[in-house]
Structure formats: C-alpha cells, structure tokens
Amino acid sequence: MSEARIVHRHNPDPVASTVADLAVRVRGVTKAFGQGESLTKALRGVDLDVPYGELLMLVGPSGCGKTTLVSIIAGTLEPTDGEVLVLGQDLVRMGNGRKVRFRRENVGFVFQSYNLLPALTAAENAAVPLLIAGWRRQEAVDAACEILDRLGLGDRLANLPSELSGGQQQRVAIARALVHGPRLLVCDEPTSALDAENGRITMELIADIAVQSDRAVVVVTHDARVYSFADRIASMEDGHIDRVETAARG
Amino acid sequence: MLWIAWKMLIGNRVKYLGIVFGVMFAALLIAQQSSIFCGLMSLTVSQIRDVEGPDIWVMDKNVQYVDDIKPLADTELFRVKGVPGVDWAVRFYKGIVRARLEEGTYEQMILIGLDDETLVGAPEGVFLGSIADLRTPDAVIMDEAGYRRIWPGEPFRLGRVFEMNDRRAVLVGLTKASRTFQSFPIVYTRYSQAVRFAPPERKVLSFVLAEAVPGVAAEEVCKRIQADTGLQALTKRQFVRKTILYYLAKTGIPVNFAITVLLGFIVGTAIAGQTFYLFTVENIRQFGALKAMGTSNWTILLMVLSQAVQVGIVGYGVGVGLAAAFGYAATRGLTRLSFFMPWEVLAMTAVAVFLIVLLASLLSIRKVMVVDPAIVFRG
C-alpha cells in the first residue's frame, strides 16, 4: 500500500458533491445473522459512497464484513437496517422481482472461484448474462466472442473451463461480467487464486475496460499487490469502515 | 436458459447416467411387468377371442369366466333359438380331457366341440389339413403349440392316433391358435364327437353361440335371452370383460404384479431422486451464480423441471424400448412368457415416469429455490 495515502477517517463522501454523482451510497447499514445467543453482527453501521468512474477496493481481515457489504451493494443480500442506493435505486425498498431484474440489467459479477459453468465453453459462459436477458443464443455468443477477443482469449472461445488456466478462467469471468454493459461491477477476490502476473493482468483489464465515467467498480480483495489499481481503498474492521484512503491508480 | 440447463445436465456424465438409469429401471420394470400382466390376462380370454363369427355367448347363469364350465341341457339350444331377435344359434363344447398318446403317456388337453353342421367357432389358422376334414370319423385338429409340446422336435405329421376317454382320435389338421392360460394343447372336433371324448355327464353343453338378427343390437338380444330363458347371455366383449374381471378380483395375479410395479416405481424414484439431488447440490454454486446474475426463481424452476423432463424422456424411451425388446424376444419363443404391450401400458408408464421425475426433482427444486444468491460470495 505504498502508493496509497490516508485522506480521511469516517467520511464516506470525499469526492462526490451530489447523490447523483454516486453509483453507490450506503448509510448506516447493519447486518445481523442468527438470533438470540447465536446472533452475529456482520455489519455495524456502514457508511460508504462510490462515485461513478471510480474503482473502490474493500480490504480488511477475514470476517470483517467485506463480503457481506459487497453482497448488499450487489443486491444479493438484504441489510438488517440502513439505506442502500445503487445507481439511484433504493435496494432496501425494492421488491425481490425488481431486484432480480436490477441485477440482471445493471450489475456484473466477478467471483473468487470464477463460478463458470463447467459444461459451457468460454464463449457460452461469457454469454450467460445475455442469455439471462433473453438474447438469442447465437447473438449472445457472438457478442461474448467479441469481448473475449478483446481480453486476449480469441483462440480459446471453444474451450471448456477445465481446459483453461486460472488466469484464462478469470478473464472469461470478467468477460461474462462485462458482456451486458453493467453500470456496477462487483468483484470478489478476483486475484486471490492467481499468481502475481495473472493477478496484475486481471486488474489491468478490470481497470481499463470496466472503469468508465458512467460505471463504478467495487473490488473486495486481500491481495495487497493490486491495491495500486484502486482509486480509493476502504479498510474494514469488525463490521464497519475503519478508514478510506485515496490511492494513486496505475 | 433451458439450453444451459440441458448442457449442465449432460455435462456431468456420471450423474446424468445415474438419473437416467433410475428412470429407465423404473420404466423398464413397470412396462415389462404390466405387459406380462396384460399378456397373462389376454391368455385368459384367448379362447373367447379365437371364436370368430357369433357375437353372443349363452351359458349357465352362474358362470363367472370362460373356464368355469357349468354344463347345460342340450334342449337349451332350442330355447335360445326361440328368443325373438336370435338369428341362429349353435352348440359349443369346451372342456378338459386326458389323452392317452401312442407312446403310452398321458396329456391334458382342452377339447373344443364345434357344431356338427356349421363348424361355427372353428379355428381360422389351419395350415396343415383342412377344417372340412373334421367331418371324417374320429377327426381332430390340434393347435401347433400343442403339437410341439406333445411331440417336441418332431416334424408335423397328420394321421397320428391317440385316445380320449378310450375313444380313438385321428389328427387330421394343425392350426394356429392363441395360447391359453393353462397352456394345454387344444384339440378341435365336432360337437357329437366331443361329447364322446369327454367324460360321461348328464349335461354336456358348455355354451350356446348365437347371432342377433341384422339390425338388432347384440346387447338387446342378450337381455331378451336372459329374460326368456333364465340363462346368462353376454356379448363377446362382455364375456371377455367378465373373465378378466374375475381373474383380477379372485386371483392374486394383479396384486403380485402391482407389488413389482410399485417396487419399480419406488426404487426408480429413490435412485433418480437421490442422484438428481446430488447433481443439484453439486451445481448449487452455479445456480447461485445464475441467480446473482439476475435469473429469476421462475426460470430456475423451469431449468430444474426441464432437466427432470429431459431425463424422464430419455429414461422412458430407453426403458420402454428395452421392455419392448424383451417382449420381442419373448414372443419369438425365446421364453414362455406371455407379453402384450397395448398403448395403455405405454401411457401408464409415461404417467409413472412423469411422477417419478416430478418427485425426484422436488427436493432439488426446493434446494435451488431457497439458495441465497449471495452464496457465490462465500468461499
């Protein structure tokens, strides 16, 4: 984290001046699992803003609530309390059906374990979000091939995930996350299973392709080698944001 | 998305084959056992169906099935003939006799006695000799299966002589005939000859075969015969139904087959259900990822159901195909099993397979419906 510098503590909104500039706005979010004596508070009042055009990294020790927070931001988990605005939509008040549609249209996912479908080829895997959106199979696969080509996998389109290296699989996952042009990209430990070189390439691709003025990227990571790709780094500790640092990307 | 479901399914060959095996096993067992059951039931009525021509069977009012012979007095024939709406009526003998062969051995046989003048009820598949030869003294015609049973491996030879009730019978013809429930050889002869071959009884007439006047329904004539004579009169179709119902109600045959079919259903459901559930659990993160990416629960439900239907179709096809192949072998003499696969068996098996895949997929459906899409963010 040599290139990062601490700019403030407990101030979630150092960059944007209005709510309209924010891709993600989280206020007072708590999340508890279990009941009674087994109650676990994963989030204890989180405030966080992510402006459009930013790549924010969520870092912190295991169990600090990073995954819970990113799940809430992605709309796959309900908070116990608090306010969550993503791309101007109030996820807390959004019904389940609308939330499913919201994710389908607006959110791209890159998972730690890739979660590629083992029976589908690279091109078919990358086409999945378009198929979910109702595209015709051939058109979806053609679009996926284009983006895979941009990611340097033009010669691996027909390969199954088991025939690809870890780095190649993660690139397929990135292609899948971006193929439908989502405005929010959520990445969970995208480099943890990769060696240094592939980790760097993966983050370069995310930073180059995903970070645009009308998009935002939230990356959960433990991998200090990739901190330099962040615009800001939010450090979590025991269920809350401990500090937010501005980093010098690239 | 259903295409993805299909690829997910066949992508895991071992699980896929396991599920298909479960369904196939059930379909095979259900179709095969049901067809054997139908075959057995058809044997019970084969002698009714083999009698071509007359549509009305008249018998003692207490007869319950075709082999339940309660002899009538010969005069009953004339009473039946006198009922309005009866065009014509003839005598028909059916009984079991013991024959003494040339070799000195004894053989049980089904003896059929046909009206002397008209030979109504004669078999149509005579391939050696002719029906007309029955008019010669002591003449009998035997069914092919019976001949092969009595004289296995020997060529067909007319003129063979054997005895029934110490009276000489001469083989003058061979015919094709449906197998009977008892599997005894069948010998056809004239009525007057049959009553001499049969053990002496005061009454010997088994059935009166009759035909309704053209334009009058056979059912209506049956009612008239019953009302006027006190005898039981049934159409061929009614007699077939009555006989089958007797075997269904009064024998353990249906229960035995039902138990086997039920076991096939349970075992098939258990194998398919367990394997399908394991397949779903194995793919739960993939389903979670699809849900995270915006696949609705409804689509996920359709995906799982389509997977279930796909294995159901394949398992049904293979299972029924194997059952049919078994039946083909059985009816080609490789086994002595009776086998009859009507469309009802195929339909019933299809319903059973549908239920199996539905039950098998229930646990899986519950699993994928409740899976939290956030599962994909957990390590």
Q: Which two tokens stand for residue A5?
A: 């510098």
Q: Which amino acid is at B185?
A: P
Query: Which of the two residues, B203 and A2, has the higher pLDDT score?
Result: B203
Contacts of A11 (CB under 8 A, 6+ apart): A244
Domains assigned to chain A: 5-246 (3.40.50.300)
Query: Which of the two residues, A214 and B171, has the higher pLDDT score?
Result: B171
Contact B286 A67 (CB under 8 A): no
Q: Do B57 and B234 contact (CB within 8 A), yes or no?
A: yes
Residue A192 binned pLDDT confidence (cut-offs 50, 70, 90): confident
Which whole-number Å values give the CA distances from B375 to A78, A86, A188, in the listed order? 13, 21, 12
When CB atoms are compared, the residue of B3, B4, B292 closest to A76 is B292
Contact B292 A128 (CB under 8 A): no
- Which of A120-129, A238-247, B337-346, B365-374 is modeled with the greatest confidence? A120-129
Name the residue among A88, A94, A50 with its Cα closest to residue A75: A94
Q: What is the pLDDT of residue A40?
A: 85
Q: What is the ipTM of this complex?
A: 0.81
Q: What is the pLDDT of residues A28-61, one digit of tens each?
A: 999 988 888 888 888 888 899 988 888 999 998 8
Name the residue among A231, A174, A250, A248 with its Cα closest to residue A58: A231
Min Cα separation A127/chain B (Å): 11
Count of H-run helices and E-run strands, chain B: 12, 10
Gap between the Cα atoms of A182 and A228, Å rounded = 23
Q: What is the pLDDT of residue B111?
A: 93
A36 near B CB under 8 A: no
Gap between the Cα atoms of B300 and B286, Å rounded = 11
Q: CB atoms < 10 A from the CB of A214, how many?
A: 10
pTM of the model: 0.75
Name the residue among A170, A182, A180, A175 with its Cα closest to residue A218: A182
Min Cα separation A51/chain B (Å): 22
Residues of chain A neighbouring B1 (CB-CB closer than 8 A) = 131-132
Residue A3 binned pLDDT confidence (cut-offs 50, 70, 90): very low
Q: What is the pLDDT of residue A7?
A: 40
Q: What is the pLDDT of residue A4?
A: 37
> What is the rounded (10 degree) CA torsion for A97, A98, A100, A106?
170
Contact B8 A101 (CB under 8 A): no
What share of residues in chain B are helix, strand, coil (percent, to 5)? Answer: 55, 20, 25
* Mean pLDDT in residue range A196-211: 78
A117 near B CB under 8 A: yes
Min Cα separation A182/chain B (Å): 11
Min Cα separation B24/chain A (Å): 24
Residues of chain B neighbouring A109 (CB-CB closer than 8 A) = 289, 292-293, 376
Contact A103 B294 (CB under 8 A): yes
What is the bridge-based pairing of β-strands A22-33 and B56-59?
unpaired
Q: Which of A42-56, A66-80, A234-248, B237-251 has the lowest mean pLDDT?
A: A234-248
Q: What is the pLDDT of residues B129-158, one digit of tens each?
A: 888 899 999 999 999 989 988 888 889 999
Contact B293 A109 (CB under 8 A): yes
Q: Which two tokens stand for residue B376?
A: 């994909």
Query: Which of the two residues, A249 and B123, has the higher pLDDT score?
Result: B123
Q: Do A250 and A240 contact (CB within 8 A), yes or no?
A: no
Q: What is the pLDDT of residues B67-120, one digit of tens each?
A: 888 999 989 999 999 999 999 999 999 999 999 988 888 989 999 999 998 888
Question: Tell me, what DSSP letter sits at residue A85?
Answer: E
Gap between the Cα atoms of B155 and B148, Å rounded = 9
Contact A124 B7 (CB under 8 A): yes
Count of H-run helices and E-run strands, chain A: 6, 11
Min Cα separation A17/chain B (Å): 31
Cα A176 off chain centre by: 13
DSSP string, B295-315: --HHHHHHHHHHHHHHHHHHH
Residue A108 has pLDDT above 70, yes or no: yes
Q: Which two tokens stand for residue B230?
A: 């006190």
Name the residue among A120, A130, A143, A144 with its Cα closest to residue B3: A120
Q: CB atoms < 10 A from the CB of A133, how many?
A: 15
Gap between the Cα atoms of B339 and B323, Å rounded = 10
- Which of A106-115, A193-202, B244-253, B369-378 is modeled with the greatest confidence? B244-253
A104 near B CB under 8 A: yes
- Chain B residues at the A interface, defined by Cβ less than 8 Å, are 1, 3-4, 7-8, 10-12, 285-286, 288-297, 299, 372-374, 376-379
The residue written with tokens 């997910």 in the block is B8
Residue A156 has pLDDT above 70, yes or no: yes
> What is the rounded (10 degree) CA torsion for B324, B330, B331, B333?
150
CB pairs under 8 A between A and B: 86
A123 near B CB under 8 A: no
Q: Which residue out of A69, A73, A120 would a mutagenesis test of the B interface target, given it has the greatest number of B Cβ atoms within 10 Å? A: A120
Q: Do A206 and A190 contact (CB within 8 A), yes or no?
A: yes
Q: Which two tokens stand for residue A91?
A: 């996820």
Gap between the Cα atoms of B99 and B184, Å rounded = 11
Q: Which residue out of B1, B310, B377 would a mutagenesis test of the A interface target, given it has the greatest number of A Cβ atoms within 10 Å? A: B377
Q: Which two tokens stand for residue A152?
A: 């340097």
Q: What is the pLDDT of residue A9?
A: 40
Contact A119 B8 (CB under 8 A): yes
Residue B365 binned pLDDT confidence (cut-offs 50, 70, 90): confident
Min Cα separation B239/chain A (Å): 59
Q: What is the pLDDT of residues B295-337, one digit of tens each?
A: 888 898 999 899 889 989 999 999 999 999 988 887 776 556 7
Gap between the Cα atoms of B331 and A188, Å rounded = 64
Residue B124 binned pLDDT confidence (cut-offs 50, 70, 90): confident
Q: Which two tokens stand for residue A110?
A: 């890159």
Residues of chain A neighbouring B289 (CB-CB closer than 8 A) = 109, 111, 115
* Mean pLDDT in residue range B30-50: 88
What's the 3-state SS for B84-141? CCEEEEEEEEEEEEEEECCCCCEEEEEEEEECCCCCCCCCCEEEEECHHHHHCCCEEE
Q: What is the pLDDT of residue B97?
A: 92
- Mean pLDDT of the residues in chain B: 88
Q: Which amino acid is at B11?
A: G
